[in-house]
Structure 1
Amino acid sequence: MAAATSTVVGLATSSLSPINRKQPTLNSAFLKSPTTARNPFRVSQASGGKYTCFQRDWLRKDLNVIGFGLIGWLAPSSIPAINGDSLTGLFFGSIGTELAHFPTPPALTSPFWLWLVTWHLGLFICLTFGQIGFKGRTEDYFEK
């Protein structure tokens, strides 16, 4: 009696291929052939050399924005408008007060937290609008 190779026919004509007897290969119409994964961060030649996912330098940081944004926030926050004191003065003064009892953290009722949140919120808003304005102007976003 001769040995016959058998093919298993089932759902979607899947079969075990008898090419390598040690490791059977499963072929199915539901499974795609194995391919290498595509790197979405690599420059595609079909797109003309532009990034297809997002630009590599998506932040597009510029030291001019950081410098002018910091100066642009320090100037108005240093105006003495809160009972004769400035926001910057109150914030830096509260840092000194809290450092006087250093190992102990500031209490939740300390005005340090109010000055910290207010000063940094203003700084980050100023830096964000500075980035939008500076990069928008250099990249002609505001042109008609």
Structure 2
Amino acid sequence: MATMATTTHIAGLGSPLSLARRSSKPSLTSGFIRTQVASRNPLNQKIAYGGRFTCFERDWLRTDLNVIGFGLIGWLAPSSIPAINGNSLTGLFFQSIGAELAHWPTGPALNSQFWLWMITWHIGLFLCLTFGQIGFKGRADGYF
């Protein structure tokens, strides 16, 4: 069987398509479609999940219970040191929780010390968890 190739122009595509018939299987080629080549630069976008471009890994958070456990212990230890008039930050936070629960269901007032201790304690915890995640995953991935 002879190979026939015809070129047709489809309106709106802007470039001609060539239709080559070989053994009754048509194949289309176009200037719009390029073959996919694996990238050697890890910073380039990867083709994954059905041909869609993704910039991040699917599991970008990469949660690890080691980071959560060590981060919580790493924050509870220094926040339990009695450095604020003989009291620790954790102790003051838990005392303020008890004081606020004493007049349940009324919530804490805006000028209550509970808000100061809660915000300070949680900012420290989240900073410890964030730096723990950066350090643990950075070490695992070989950044440092």
TM-score of the superposition, structure 1-length normalised? 0.65
2:123 counterpart letter in structure 1? L
Distance in 1 (CA, whole Å) between partners of 2:71 and 2:82 is 20
Q: How has the CA–CA distance of structure 1 residues 128 and 97 changed in structure 2, closer, same or farther, with 3 Å as cutoff?
A: same
Distance in 2 (CA, whole Å) between partners of 1:112 and 1:75 is 21
* 1:93-124 deviations in Å (ceiling 9; x for gaps): 10000000011110000000000000000000
Distance in 1 (CA, whole Å) between partners of 2:63 and 2:85 is 37
What root-mean-square deviation, in Å, do the aligned CA atoms of Structure 1 and Structure 2 show?
Answer: 2.3
2:81 counterpart letter in structure 1? I
Query: Do residues 29 (structure 1) and 12 (structure 2) align?
Result: yes
Q: CA deviation at 1:29?
A: 3.5
> Which residue, 63, 66, 74 being the options, matches 2:65?
63
Higher strand share: 2
2:85 counterpart letter in structure 1? N
* 1:53-101 deviations in Å (ceiling 9; x for gaps): 1101100110000000000000000000000000000001100000000
- The higher radius of gyration belongs to 1
2:140 counterpart letter in structure 1? T
Q: How has the CA–CA distance of structure 1 residues 135 and 50 changed in structure 2, closer, same or farther, with 3 Å as cutoff?
A: farther
**Displaced runs of 4+ in structure 1, greater than 2 A?**
27-31, 45-52
TM-score of the superposition, structure 2-length normalised? 0.65
Distance in 2 (CA, whole Å) between partners of 1:83 and 1:50 is 58
Distance in 2 (CA, whole Å) between partners of 1:28 and 1:99 is 73
Question: Structure 2 unaligned runs (5+)?
Answer: 1-9, 15-35, 40-45
Distance in 2 (CA, whole Å) between partners of 1:115 and 1:28 is 68
